[in-house]
């Protein structure tokens, strides 16, 4: 295996997946120090040949989705690789590559589908997480995959109600509606707390 692919997979999947959602202190800086060069290459289409294998596709999706969003946190650039992450993940899923990796790794292919402000994409992600439940063996896998399905349901609700994700509005220069302001105040902190509890 390409050593960079191996390094990405080891770094990301040797940690509790809840850290993908609630980053521990210092993670963003560590990702920037170790992987910013590879993130840049992935975003510039220089690593597209990785997509010929399951592991390569997985590493590429992680670079474009999770690593990009962490490294560029609190910046509009956090979302500029989302479309490429979505395309890479979708092609991998279409080829069945998500079935060639572990349950937790498969879930990483589904997360870019939830990032897209598209009902059909989020509905697909929810279905994939529901199907993935049949492969779960450990308690951690059951909890994580259940959380993924629940999160997809929450994303669906946001898109049905607002047509977009209000949490992105500020960074993307979009004005919140009154309903979105209320949603952000009432639900976001509660949802993070729920996710933490579900992974305990």
Q: State pLDDT tens for residues 101-116.
A: 999 999 999 999 999 9
Is residue 108 one of the residues assigned to a domain?
yes
Per residue in 47-65, is it b (16+ CB within 10 Å) or e — as a string?
Answer: beebbebbbbbbbbbbbbb
Of 68, 63, 132, 134, the C-alpha closest to 104 is: 132
Overall domain count for the chain: 1
Is residue 145 one of the residues assigned to a domain?
no
| Residue range of the domain that includes 85 | 3-116
Is residue 136 one of the residues assigned to a domain?
no
Is residue 168 one of the residues assigned to a domain?
no
Q: State pLDDT tens for residues 59-116.
A: 999 999 999 999 999 898 999 999 999 999 999 999 999 999 999 999 999 999 999 9
Is residue 83 one of the residues assigned to a domain?
yes
Helical packing angle, 103-115 and 3-13, nearest 10°: 90
Is residue 18 one of the residues assigned to a domain?
yes
Is residue 147 one of the residues assigned to a domain?
no
Is residue 179 one of the residues assigned to a domain?
no
């Amino acid at each position: 295996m390409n050593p960079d692919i191996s390094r990405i997979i080891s770094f990301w999947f040797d940690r509790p997946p809840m850290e993908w959602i609630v980053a521990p202190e210092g993670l963003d800086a560590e990702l920037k120090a170790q992987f910013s060069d590879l993130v840049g290459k992935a975003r510039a289409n220089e690593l597209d040949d990785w997509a010929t294998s399951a592991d390569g596709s997985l590493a590429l999706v992680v670079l474009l989705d999770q690593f990009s969003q962490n490294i560029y946190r609190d910046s509009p650039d956090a979302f500029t690789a989302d479309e490429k992450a979505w395309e890479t993940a979708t092609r991998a899923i279409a080829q069945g590559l998500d079935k060639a990796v572990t349950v937790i790794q498969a879930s990483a292919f589904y997360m870019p589908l939830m990032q897209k402000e598209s009902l059909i994409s989020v509905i697909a992600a929810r279905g994939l997480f529901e199907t993935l439940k049949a492969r779960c063996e450990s308690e951690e896998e059951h909890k994580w995959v259940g959380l993924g399905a629940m999160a997809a349901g929450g994303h669906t609700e946001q898109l049905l109600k607002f047509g977009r994700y209000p949490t992105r509005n500020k960074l993307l220069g979009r004005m919140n509606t009154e309903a979105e302001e209320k949603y952000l105040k009432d639900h976001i902190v509660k949802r993070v707390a729920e996710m933490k509890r579900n992974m305990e």
